[in-house]
Structure 1
Amino acid sequence: MSEKLTNTGLVKHAQTMLGLPTSYMWGTLARKIDSGTIDWCRETYPSMYSADRVAYLRNQIGKRYGCDCVGLIKSYYFGGVGSPKYTVKRDYNTNAIYAAAPKKGPLSSLPEVPGTCLYMRGHVGIYIGGGWCIECTLGDYGDGVVKTRVVGRGWTNWFYCPFVEYPGDSTDAPAPAFQKGDKVKVKPGAKTYTGGKLASFVYQTAYDVLEVSRDRIVIGIKGNVTAAIKADDLIKQ
């Protein structure tokens, strides 16, 4: 995908997936089911792939798309349905993508902004407006990408995807304080973007800015990632 990633684009992507034949596959990204993917998933996540589930999925080879809940979101910013594009730095699980969100809140304060993401422990979905959600799930609500009501589903929080632009985010915003390629140092006592501790040597070294996503700055040396840091915790050199 070369176009800008937006909240409305995320909704359109989810609606496209809703219209396709899908099956829930833990660890996958909205790609056509094939034997190699099934084998990899079974070996990587054995507790999530029973013999019966594997047998079912083998019958869907070439017929359906495999996806999991956060894969529905990631497949949008990785290039769309069936895209082979992949970036390990943006491969977040459900809890990590929620932790990295630039804005979030309890479900009671859910903004009427289609493309806002929904969260409960271990599961995410995409709010499409009007009290409806599109999610990828397996169980009582279906198998694969389904449309469900937000109320009564168990969602606890909402959040903005860290790689998607939302209304008011950037159109009239000033240029970002940091750009890819900048040299920076980490302020003494700063933590990772998600609040984790940093090794003491991190504060003594100058780093390259590898990626910028609003206030989330990925730093490293020679292309190797060291950490993601809040912009306010960095000093440009």
Structure 2
Amino acid sequence: MQRSKKIASVLLSVTMLSGACAAAGSTTAHASGTGAGLAEWALNAYYSGWSYVYGGATPGTVDCSGLIYSYCGGNARGGDSQLYASSESGYISNGIPRVHGLGLHMDGHVGVYIGDGMAVDARNDDEDVCYDTLDYMGWTQWYKVGAIDYIENGWEQFNGDYYYYENGEYIVNTSRTIDGTTYYFDSKGRSSDTPSNPSSSNSSSSSSSSDNSSSEISSDNSSTNDDSSSTEEVKEESQTEPSLYKNGDEGDEVKKIQERLKELGYYTGEVTGKFDDATEAAYIQFQQAAGVAVDGISGTDRDVLYSDDCPTYTDAQALLAEQTPTYQLGDQSNAVLTIQNRLAILGFFNEIATGYFGETTLQAVEAFQLANNLEATGIVDQATYQAMFSATALSNNGYALATSVEYTGPYAMPQGGSSQFVLQNTQNQNYAHSAAVVASAANKVTKKALSNTSADAPVFFSAVVKRNLNVGLWFVVVLALLSVFGGVFIIKNVKASKKARRARSKKSYTRVKTEARYW
């Protein structure tokens, strides 16, 4: 029975994926699905009981990024790569758009926004696919998945209900008259009635689509010579379009890219002509500084890279220092939560991360700064933040972890390639931080239990002593009882043995006396 359910679930998932891809293909050539389609896909994964399997990206067995990839595919497989390849993103602390099927991101993990403050994510081996509120996991960013088409204006069906989008978001708590019919939308955006024409829209994109259709019709009625010339123009444009270079590519153009990145100060490695992790990280820094799409892929943005007014690494750092905030005592945000998690991994923060910058966080920041030759101000400025998330960050034991964490947060200065980051963090998602916290907490408890000179833990130490005394007392009582019972048993055996010997002696004496009398 269970096997039949799983097979049915997989068939249902494949059917949904095929339908979504077909629908998306009829809308836009680049998209492989819709936002509502991804949200329904994720919900189906939860209700069908899909399993979490590291590296999985097929219906029924997925990891966090595989949940998204199994629906829409695309060039971005890892969670961080999906974020970099997104067309639009933002911080959840500033609010999340009312859009079905947005991607959700946090350090080392991704999920899917369902809408109405709910999310689905493939979490770990123990919990598999989960469905929780948006704030349960502490998501830090939202993004539009690059391989998905998100509706801007018009009707959208999701989970059996109809929603109406305006300017990229579905409307709530209002009414609209569409095609002569008035529709009311509740607090969740659901329409009061089924639209008579779900494809109708008052958006400009619809009119432009009509214009394109009419132009296509006219072009179909044009002469063959016009078609030929049009085709030649398209070919000529495609030939002039620059090639794309990404991680893993090699060649003279990659060498040229490395030389330019090195000249600008973004790249410090050797010019090898190989687009490796270090080159990708440097290119991402350039894209962030130049204000172009951040995906780590070199394409049309090379025009900016080779231009005379391309910002240098030093210029980007100076601008970044002016724009980025500092984090200090009393602050509370998702960024503080990320800082606490990183400090926990490094061994400086032994409490539960809450996102509040309290005294414990202040002391942890000061300890990190001292260990890494920074001024111990207790304030997380740009220098402290970058040192904290770099591969050379020294942990509490004085050793570097030899791993960097790419975080596209306020400082947005990744130290390693995104491919390396995806590998490091996906393998350890949900485990590394928990293990570090547990280990640190265990060390803390052990130190307190063994030290009777600590002025910070007299109550804790007395409790430990009392517990140990109680255990020792019970041990003594049990040992005494065993000794008593053992002694009684031994005495009884000795008495029984003596009594038996006396009886045998008496019997033997009686027999001898009788035999002597009648001899």
Please state which band the TM-score falls in when normalised by the shorter chain.
0.5 to 0.7
CA contact (8 A) 2:106 2:139 kept: yes
> 1:107 aligns to what?
92
Q: Deviation at 1:184?
A: 3.2
Q: Deviations over 1:41-100 (max 9, x none)?
A: xxxxxxxxxxxxxxxxxxxxxxxx21101111001114xxxxxxxxxx625201111111
Q: Deviations over 1:164-186 (max 9, x none)?
A: 011228982788xxx89922344
Does 16-25 or 69-78 show the bigger shift?
16-25
> 2:80 aligns to what?
95
Q: Deviations over 1:211-230 (max 9, x none)?
A: xxxx98x9xxxxxxxx9445
Distance 1:149 1:182 in 2: 46
Q: Percent identity?
A: 24
> 2:341 aligns to what?
none
The answer to whether residue 238 in structure 2 is matched with residue 182 in structure 1 is yes
Match of 1:123 among 109, 122, 132: 109
> 1:13 aligns to what?
41
Q: Which runs of 4+ in 1 moved over 3 A?
A: 184-187, 190-193, 227-234
Paired amino acid for 1:164: I
With over 3 angstroms needed to count, the CA separation of the structure-2 counterparts of 1:152 and 1:19, relative to structure 1, is closer
> 2:137 aligns to what?
153
Distance 1:76 1:91 in 2: 12
Name the one with the larger helix percent: 2
Distance 1:150 1:117 in 2: 12
Distance 1:15 1:74 in 2: 15
Distance 2:89 2:299 in 1: 16
CA contact (8 A) 1:106 1:157 kept: yes
Match of 1:164 among 145, 148, 151: 148
With over 3 angstroms needed to count, the CA separation of the structure-2 counterparts of 1:110 and 1:118, relative to structure 1, is same
Distance 1:77 1:155 in 2: 22
Distance 1:232 1:91 in 2: 19
> 2:68 aligns to what?
73
Paired amino acid for 1:200: K
CA contact (8 A) 1:22 1:143 kept: no
Paired amino acid for 1:182: S
> 2:23 aligns to what?
3
Paired amino acid for 2:67: L
Distance 1:147 1:201 in 2: 44
Distance 2:147 2:204 in 1: 15
Q: Deviation at 1:231?
A: 4.7
CA contact (8 A) 1:7 1:116 kept: yes
Say which SS state the counterpart of residue 139 (structure 2) adopts.
coil
Distance 1:171 1:68 in 2: 39
CA contact (8 A) 2:245 2:297 kept: no
Say which SS state the counterpart of residue 145 (structure 1) adopts.
strand
Is the radius of gyration larger for structure 1 or structure 2? 2
Distance 2:127 2:301 in 1: 43
Match of 1:22 among 50, 67, 80: 50
CA contact (8 A) 1:98 1:159 kept: yes
Distance 2:151 2:133 in 1: 23
CA contact (8 A) 1:115 1:126 kept: yes
Q: Deviation at 1:18?
A: 1.3
Distance 1:66 1:150 in 2: 23
CA contact (8 A) 1:6 1:165 kept: yes
Say which SS state the counterpart of residue 97 (structure 2) adopts.
coil
More relative contact order in 1 or in 2 (CA 8 Å, sep 6+)?
A: 1
Distance 1:157 1:201 in 2: 30
> 1:58 aligns to what?
none
Paired amino acid for 2:41: H
Alignment of 1:192-231 (within 5 A): 198-200=254-256, 228-229=297-298, 231=300
Distance 2:241 2:100 in 1: 37
Q: Deviation at 1:21?
A: 2.3
CA contact (8 A) 1:192 1:229 kept: yes
With over 3 angstroms needed to count, the CA separation of the structure-2 counterparts of 1:184 and 1:148, relative to structure 1, is farther
Distance 1:106 1:113 in 2: 14
- Taking structure 1 as the reference length, what is the TM-score of the superposition? 0.56
Q: Deviation at 1:192?
A: 6.4
Paired amino acid for 2:98: E
Say which SS state the counterpart of residue 8 (structure 1) adopts.
helix
With over 3 angstroms needed to count, the CA separation of the structure-2 counterparts of 1:158 and 1:99, relative to structure 1, is same
- Taking structure 2 as the reference length, what is the TM-score of the superposition? 0.27
Distance 2:131 2:67 in 1: 13
Distance 1:14 1:192 in 2: 29
With over 3 angstroms needed to count, the CA separation of the structure-2 counterparts of 1:134 and 1:229, relative to structure 1, is same
Q: Deviation at 1:20?
A: 1.1
Name the one with the larger strand percent: 1
Say which SS state the counterpart of residue 127 (structure 2) adopts.
strand
